[in-house]
Each structure stands twice: as C-alpha cells, then as structure tokens.
A and B are shown apart, each in its own frame.
Chain A
Amino acid sequence: MRKTFIAENPSVLWFLAALGLFTLVVTVLSEWVGTGLIPTSFVKTLGKTLCLCLIAIAMDVVWGYCGILSLGHFAFFGIGGYAIGMWLMYARTESIVLESFGSQVIPPTQQEISDAIGNQIFGVVGSSEFPAIWAFADNLYLQLLMIVLVPGLLALVFGWLAFRSRVTGVYLSILTQAMTLALSLYLFQNDSGLRGNNGLSGLQNIPGFETAPQSAVSLVFFWASAFALAAGYVFFAWAVSGKMGSVIKGIRDNEARVRFLGYRVESYKLFIFTVTAVVSGIAGALYYPQAGIINPGEIAPIASIYLAVWVAIGGRGRLYGAVIGAAFVSLLSSWFTGGGAPAINLGFYTIQWTDWWLVLLGLSFVAVTLFFPKGIGGLFDYLVRKP
C-alpha cells in the first residue's frame, strides 16, 4: 500500500530530469569539452545561478513551508563563501610565496614563509599578522568543515535565542535583518580579520590546479553546483514530503495548534532554521569560487530581501517554484543591470534599465503578491490535472 517517494512526488523526477538535461546542454556547448557556443564567463553565471537556486530552496523551506520569514539567510551564504575563500586565498598565496623563495640559496624558515603569506594577504589592511580565525586556513578539510559548522552554529545560537523568546512574524524578520547587517558591518572593518571591504579575491584560481584553464574550472564548478542543487532538492523534497512537512506546514498555518498537539514548536523552528542555514553555507561555498571575489557587501541586508523576492515570485511552498524564481529573476536582473536590455526612448525621457530595473522588480513583486500568490510555479497547477 505504500508508494515510493518518487511515485508520490513526480515533480522531483521532473526536476532532476530538467536539471540533468540543462547540465548536459551547457556541457556540450561549453568551451572546455564542447562547441564553445557558451563562453566561460556565462558558464560561471549559470553555475552561480544554480547556487542561488540552492539557497532559494533553503529559503522556501524556512519561509514557504515553515512560515519563518528569515531575511538573513544570505549571511550564512556569505559565511560559506568566506570559509572556502580563506583556504583558496591562503593556499594560493602560499604557493606564490614558496615560488618566490624558491630561487634563494638559503631556504626560508617557517616563520619567514608565514610572514610573507601574511604580508601578501593582509597588506591591504595594513597588517601582516594572521588573525585567530585563520587558524585552520591552511587545512582544506578543516576549512570545508567550517562551511557547514560556522553557519550552523550561528543559526543555532541566533535561532535558539529568538525562537525561545517566541519572537515571530515581522519582529523575527527584523532581527534576521539586523543579524546580517551587523555581520556585514563587522566584516567591513579592517581589523575584522577578513580584509575589510577588500574582501577575499582571486578565488577563481584553484590551488593545485593552476595549470587548468578557467574554462575547465568553470565547468567543474558548474557540475558541482548542479550536483549540490540536485542533492539539496532531493533532500528537502524528501524531508517535506513526510510527517516533517506536515508539522512545519502546521507551524506555518497554526502554531498554537501544533503546540497543543504536543510538538515543541521552538525545536522544529530551530531545526529548520539551522539545516537551511547549513545548506545556504554550502551554496555560498560553491558560489564564490565562481564569482572570484567576496566582500562584505555581499551579505548586506538587501541580498536576503532579494532572496525572499525570488521565492515569492517563483511561488513559495513548492521547491521548484523557488528554483524557477531564483533562476528567472537573478538572470533577468543581470541582463537588465548589465546593460543587456535596450533603453526605451519615450521622447521626453529615456528609460535606462540600470536605473529602472529595481522599480520593475518591485512592481512585479507587488503584482505577484496581490494577483498571483502562487507565483510562477503556480502555473504548473494548470498543467497537472487534479485527480
């Protein structure tokens, strides 16, 4: 009598098929293994978009399913990026430093090497000392652990404080905004230990693969992003398909009822908040090597608000809606703001899309919220006949 997970959730199979096909097409058209129709820079854009889709499904679970309007998930995304960026920058600088020392007759001491790396990395902020948070930067595995550990712990502590005090609704949203703003302002300081507003750069160069062309690096990261999105999608689809989905949707719709059924609502919120924060961290760790640079501006409050807008436009409460929203709006956004969209001359005024894109986005957001609360994903309801 029990149907399998896939049989009950055919949309998962459709999604995986679509993602697989998309990955195949991009691979075939890429510069590295294919025809080269898609330039490497666009492969990177598409790979980054997949990472944004991944954080969007995390956002959909926390907001669309559990009803927590977090406006701070980009903080976790950024932390994931910083965590991988520290290793990338350290390891690359180390190899450059060692190379420059290589010609010397007297081999340099460990201290000299360390000082030289410190000078290279922290020279821009007038320092050469390694801050304590870089303690593990020389170890890839520990730093990979940080990608999940730091966002997870921050979410756990923040969530525990907020949910335990039963902060809900718009107050919680404001708190999460404050969290990401505080983190961003802190990182802007030169003595934060993460190079202030310079951020971490050169992340597109992968230590150990210096000879590999960017066309290859970009495609590998694209694959990794596609795989992470697929894995994240299956995991969240599985999690929300069962009783967990029932409970968190119950929390979204009527928190008190769930509580009187004997569920510790706070534990569930904390669980969902933390798991989605970890996934956001992973998405960020895949995103920033493709972007090449991360700075504190990336985790400004507005980024997390965009995230909510993507999910709302795509259709919250359905995972593929979040993917569609994130992909559609972020690609459209880079087209409009990147000068791709032609300016419209009205005779008395010329609409420059770099200026007016945000207005258009804002209007679309209002329109979707008012007239199509199910978002773009809601269109699929017309395709699927009700049983």
Chain B
Amino acid sequence: MNSTLLEVSGLTVSFDGFRAINNLSVQFEETGLRAIIGPNGAGKTTFMDIVTGKTRPDEGRVIWGERNISLLGMSESDIAMQGIGRKFQKPTVFEAQTVRQNLAMALKNPRSPMAVLMHRRTARNGARIEKIAEETGLADALTRVAGELSHGQKQWLEIGMLLAQDPRLLLVDEPAAGMTVEEREKTTDILKKAAQTCSVVVVEHDMEFVRRLECKVTVLHEGSVLAEGSLDHVTSNQSVIDVYLGRAHA
C-alpha cells in the first residue's frame, strides 16, 4: 500500500506582490517517481524552497509522514533530518574535498558537533560509502577531489550524497541539465532505482528526459497545478499546450 508521504495544500507565497505559488495542492506517495514540469516562473523552485524550509509560505500547509508533522517553521537542517534530500540545479558538491569525504559527510549519522568531532571511520560506514559510489558510478573516483570530476559525475555525486542520507523524499532540480545522452540514461537509471525505496520528485524542463522517466507528471503554471497524469495525458491537454507552445498557438 503506497500511502501519502508529503501533502501540500492551499500553498500561497508572494514576493513583492508577485504570487510565485498560488493555492498549490499536491501529494506525493511513499515510493515512486514524479516529474514536475512547467515553464519558467511556474514556481517549481519556489515549491522546493518551501518544502525544504528555505522559504516560508504566506498560507497553506505542508504535512509530512505518517505522523502528519507540519514542516512549516522547521529549520532546513531539521527538515533534512526528517529524510528530505534536495539536489540543486547547479551541481553543489564540496569541490575541495574528495568524493569519499563528500559521501561520508552525507551519510546518515549523528549530526551534532560533538558527535562529529569524535567520529572515526568505521568499516560499516566505509561499506555504505562504497555501495553508494557503486550505484552512482563513482566507485573508481572515491579518492578523487570532487572539483576535478566532470559535470555529470558531480551531478551523480550530489545524487549519491542525497542517497547517503537514507532519504524518504528526494527533490531533484534539473538533474539532466548539461548532460550527454549516455549520462542522461545513467541518471535515469539511478533515479528509477532510488524510486523503488523512496519518493523521488524530479523538476525538469527537458521533455525527452521526462519521457524516459516513465512516471506521473505534474504540470505547474503560475504557481498552481495545471494538469496531472501520464506524460501523454498531460501533453494532450489543451491548456498545457497553450502554456507550453505559447500564445501564438492560442
């Protein structure tokens, strides 16, 4: 039974009078992939900012997990500890540190300063790091400095860091941007595999990539849900066509 993991309802947020999110309601299940698409300014990134605690909404509710906790008012780090991992649009890894250090930092372990100060490497953590490196195709790169990795490898490392947190929900912002065709295929595989154990939400512009994900699609427009369903379903929706193909068509 796939129950609701995250429920967002009636969400509204304005920046200087501009409504970035307008009465948005959307739900995500405990496992599986979901793609969020929409034109620029549709509120995709703002939505992620709200869920991860970076932005506070004016109205609405963000309810998490089986105990129905509200995420509003929690700090970014507390939300992350609830099991929500976020991948930024631009790959953000710690470039001055090795792949292993990057993953070690992300591994689910106590996060208080004292615990971290006293932390020493264990075989168990080492095995977890190697497993994640394997899954993300970075097994040979563990000792390399993250700054030396290719763009695609950095993206995978960041996804690997999210997986290392043992997340329940992954918010992934444009993972395929700037990737070659083979890299995209591999990214799709990584995300599909992750979606077997947790909920993966992918924000993406690229329709071809979304098609590859073969998942339910939510179309955002002007801060609310315009359509929801399979990719074929939403792309045949007239209002989606109008929004995507512009006024010339309308």
Interface set of A (CB-CB < 8 Å, partner B): 1-2, 239, 242-244, 246-247, 249-250, 253-254, 256-265, 267-268, 271
Contact = CB atoms under 8 A, between A and B. Distances in A.
A137 to B, nearest CB: 33
Interface string B105-126: 1100001110011011101001
A267 B97 contact: no
Contact of A260 (B76, B101, B126): B76
B94 A257 contact: yes
A298 B26 CA distance: 60
Interface of B: 52, 54, 75-78, 80-81, 85-86, 88, 92-97, 101, 104-106, 111-113, 116-117, 119-121, 123, 126, 161, 165
B81 A268 contact: no
Q: Residue among B52, B54, B81, B113 with the most chain A CB within 10 A?
A: B113
Nearest to A257: B92
B77 A264 contact: yes
Contacts of B94: 246, 249-250, 253-254, 257
A291 to B, nearest CB: 33
Contacts of A246: 94, 97, 101, 104-105
Given A260-B80, A268-B113, A253 B95 contact: yes
Given A2-B121, A259-B80, A260-B52, A247 B106 contact: no
10 contacts: A239-B117, A242-B120, A243-B117, A249-B96, A250-B94, A253-B96, A254-B94, A257-B93, A259-B75, A263-B116
Contacts of B76: 256, 259-260
A239 B119 CA distance: 10
A253 B105 CA distance: 14
Nearest to A267: B113
Q: Residue among B117, B119, B121, B126 with the most chain A CB within 10 A?
A: B117
Nearest to B84: A260
A265 B96 CA distance: 18
Given A261-B106, A264-B77, A243 B85 contact: no
A239 B95 CA distance: 20
What DSSP secondary structure best describes chain A's contact surface?
Answer: helix
Contacts of B95: 253
A268 B117 CA distance: 10
A5 to B, nearest CB: 10
Contacts of B93: 257
Given A2-B121, A260-B52, A247 B116 contact: yes
Contacts of B77: 259-265
- The 4 A-B pairs at the shortest CB distance, nearest first, are namely A262-B80, A271-B113, A259-B76, A243-B119
Contacts of B54: 256
Contacts of B161: 261
A22 B101 CA distance: 35
Contacts of A265: 77
Contacts of B126: 1
A172 to B, nearest CB: 19
Contacts of B121: 2
Contacts of A268: 113
B104 A261 contact: no
A58 to B, nearest CB: 16
Contacts of B88: 257
Contacts of A239: 117
Nearest to B147: A253
B165 A261 contact: yes
Given A242-B119, A260-B80, A247 B105 contact: yes
A150 B94 CA distance: 35
A217 to B, nearest CB: 36
Contact of B86 (A242, A253, A260): A260
Contacts of A254: 92, 94
A262 B111 contact: yes
A292 B161 CA distance: 54
Contact of A250 (B85, B97, B112): B97
Contact of A244 (B96, B113, B165): B113
A257 B97 CA distance: 14
A243 B105 contact: yes
B82 to A, nearest CB: 9
Nearest to A261: B106
Contacts of A261: 77, 80, 105-106, 161, 165
A308 to B, nearest CB: 20
A335 to B, nearest CB: 36
A258 B101 CA distance: 13
A267 B105 contact: no
